[in-house]
Structure 1
């Protein structure tokens, strides 16, 4: 087996990252089409698919990145460092808007934050020796933790969990499972994680509650988050976190399912046989997810076991179609846009999280009321997009699509010049 890129996987990753960018950058959060919002609680919208799809794709990629399954101390260090770099990038997104520098305010503070962002981005995505990568990642991680628990007012409520943090933890465990165990063991572990999480969430009541429940802020996962992450959780709730501690357990299950699919696609079977198996695996997982939904509702915030099976099934189903069309039928018309998005996900993650936060720090006169000030992000929407559409939801979507267009130009430049940014 060779370490080849799977074009259909790059395209699938590109579709996922592109959808993430659209979802995260509407013109106004007050006017968004429902499919581009997360489910209120139980259920699953297209937006809820972005995160599990990315975790699934990461799992599939592991089998292609390490086809020979060689394991030694150097391999472990690479996995550990890559995981920690992702975690640190995710934590930094939460720190950006809270950074204080020698009492600076306004534009001087913004410039200082951007300089620090460039330094952190280079330290965590730069191409150094493995030893330097490890030292930088460990040092930056401990700086974040020290600041978060230092008692300094600016950082006492900074959020520690997040999307990249979740992905980093899943990558670490899924990679070790892939390298150190057989496919049968991986399947059994994934099943054990999902069954164990289901039992924990439905049989163990949170202290202070006589019966178990799966409601916001009162389930066992929320209780664990409040014990270990108190003051450092999701801004809008402070009582639970959608990327909390216990939900990492089933998320590892999603990663392991991806690893199993990756081994199938990297096997010696005929490509048509791989596509058929992948298709039927997808259908079976979707059905199992819907059946489990009856007693353990599909819920992205809790990352329920039914959510794992359902989303992994949809991911397998979609990948089977892409794999057949692109890698078997060799139909590649119209895929370039998604390819250029798919090979450079980390730079999109990083800069897309920084730009909106930076724009919020720049104030301009409100076109609708010149005596008022609004931030640059809102100004671009209110002055440049909203007036041209009667439907505010359409205007909000168009703003996100324009943002995607700008990113597409930048990513096309990176792709043409073979510039790839990795942790």
Structure 2
């Protein structure tokens, strides 16, 4: 079987990373349109679709990347190394703003942090032998853990979980499931994980708190995070992490469902049949998610089983539409911008986490109030974008779109020069 690359999947990935960039980079966090914010707790906004869509897309890509389904020590090592590299990249985002160097401050410290970023980025995305990749990834991971638990003040509360960290875990599990088990086992695994998570969250009493519940800070997932991730969660004011330990379990099913859809795309059947199967599965998952929402509310922070079903249903349906339009009807006009985003997501993900932190470190006197300091990020927005808008939310969105435009130009250059950055 020949390895296949789906343009529709690349476009879907591009749309998702582009939405992520808009969501994560508003001009003003105090003025954001509600669809571009996460739901406060229960519920689901367009922003809440970004992360589960990423995991789903990754699951779809696994069988497309390994159509022969051959498992050996070399394949296992590739999967392990890629997982470790993603894990280490994700944790580095949390370390960047805490790096201290010989008492440096301001621009000298920023230069030092950026130099370390280049070294770490090259070590985790550069092309080396499998053995060197392993050594580098493990060395960096152990360095993180040492710093986090060494008692050094600068790193005592550095966050360890994160988006890329969860993706790394799911990728590892899903890849091994694909290579080592039949589809029936994959389906059963997904069902067991979703039902098991529902049981844990709704039937098991929370130690020190009481009855099982799904409220902020008092649910079982929150309790487990407070025990195992104490001091290393999303923020010092939270007793839970949105990418915590227990809630990672159901997120694996987003990858499993993507995996099953990817195997449909590999079947030797007509493309129209594939699109129809995906559409039926997508609609069924949406209905199942909405039904389960009655007893186990859709919630991204808890990554509830209903959230898994609902988001994978939307993802499957959306992919089926793109697959029909692009790969069956062969209509590709207008999709090129999303394609160039979709084939180079890692470099956007990595540097977009670093750039805002770097710009905030560059500070100087505010031109409108010389007694105050302003950082470069705020300066560019306040004086280069906001004055052109009367609506502060429109201005904030414009700031995000300008950032997207800059990245589109950069990614176009990469695309033209066939530069693809991978872990």
TM-score > 0.5 by shorter chain:
yes
CA RMSD, 1 decimal: 0.7
Match of 1:299 in 2: 299
Question: Shift in Å at residue 369 of structure 1?
Answer: 2.6
Match of 1:277 in 2: 277
| CA deviation profile, 1:104-163 (whole Å, cap 9, x unmatched) | 111110000000000000000001111111111011000000000000000000000000
Matching of residues 9-28 of structure 1 within 5 Å: 9-28=9-28
Separation in structure 2 between the aligned mates of residue 259 and residue 317 of structure 1, nearest angstrom: 15
Question: Shift in Å at residue 236 of structure 1?
Answer: 5.9
Question: 1:221–1:245: 8 Å Cα contact kept in structure 2?
Answer: yes
Question: 2:41–2:299: 8 Å Cα contact kept in structure 1?
Answer: yes
| CA deviation profile, 1:269-307 (whole Å, cap 9, x unmatched) | 110000000001000000000000000000000000000
Separation in structure 2 between the aligned mates of residue 365 and residue 385 of structure 1, nearest angstrom: 19
Separation in structure 2 between the aligned mates of residue 82 and residue 328 of structure 1, nearest angstrom: 32
Question: Shift in Å at residue 365 of structure 1?
Answer: 2.7
How many positions carry a matched residue from both structures? 423
Question: Shift in Å at residue 238 of structure 1?
Answer: 3.0
Match of 1:155 in 2: 155
Three-state SS of the structure 1 residue aligned to 2:331 is coil
Question: Shift in Å at residue 313 of structure 1?
Answer: 0.1
Residue 94 (structure 1) aligned with residue 94 (structure 2): yes
Separation in structure 1 between the aligned mates of residue 383 and residue 235 of structure 2, nearest angstrom: 29
Question: Shift in Å at residue 370 of structure 1?
Answer: 3.2
Question: Shift in Å at residue 208 of structure 1?
Answer: 1.4
Gaps of 5+ in 1: none
| CA deviation profile, 1:321-377 (whole Å, cap 9, x unmatched) | 000000000000100000000000100011000000000101133344332111111
Q: TM-score, normalised by structure 2?
A: 0.99
Question: 1:367–1:383: 8 Å Cα contact kept in structure 2?
Answer: no
Moved over 4 A (4+): none
| CA deviation profile, 1:240-279 (whole Å, cap 9, x unmatched) | 0000000110010111110000000111111000000000
Three-state SS of the structure 2 residue aligned to 1:360 is helix
Separation in structure 2 between the aligned mates of residue 287 and residue 205 of structure 1, nearest angstrom: 29
Three-state SS of the structure 1 residue aligned to 2:365 is strand
Matching of residues 117-156 of structure 1 within 5 Å: 117-156=117-156
Separation in structure 2 between the aligned mates of residue 236 and residue 158 of structure 1, nearest angstrom: 10
Range 70-79 or range 158-167, more displaced = 70-79
Match of 1:226 in 2: 226
Matching of residues 5-84 of structure 1 within 5 Å: 5-84=5-84
Question: 2:157–2:236: 8 Å Cα contact kept in structure 1?
Answer: no
Q: TM-score, normalised by structure 1?
A: 0.99
Match of 2:328 in 1: 328
Question: 1:367–1:382: 8 Å Cα contact kept in structure 2?
Answer: no
Separation in structure 1 between the aligned mates of residue 403 and residue 205 of structure 2, nearest angstrom: 45
Question: 2:78–2:130: 8 Å Cα contact kept in structure 1?
Answer: yes
Separation in structure 2 between the aligned mates of residue 54 and residue 21 of structure 1, nearest angstrom: 13
Separation in structure 2 between the aligned mates of residue 64 and residue 275 of structure 1, nearest angstrom: 16
Gaps of 5+ in 2: none
| CA deviation profile, 1:164-194 (whole Å, cap 9, x unmatched) | 0000000000000000000011000001000
Match of 1:376 in 2: 376
Question: Shift in Å at residue 71 of structure 1?
Answer: 0.3
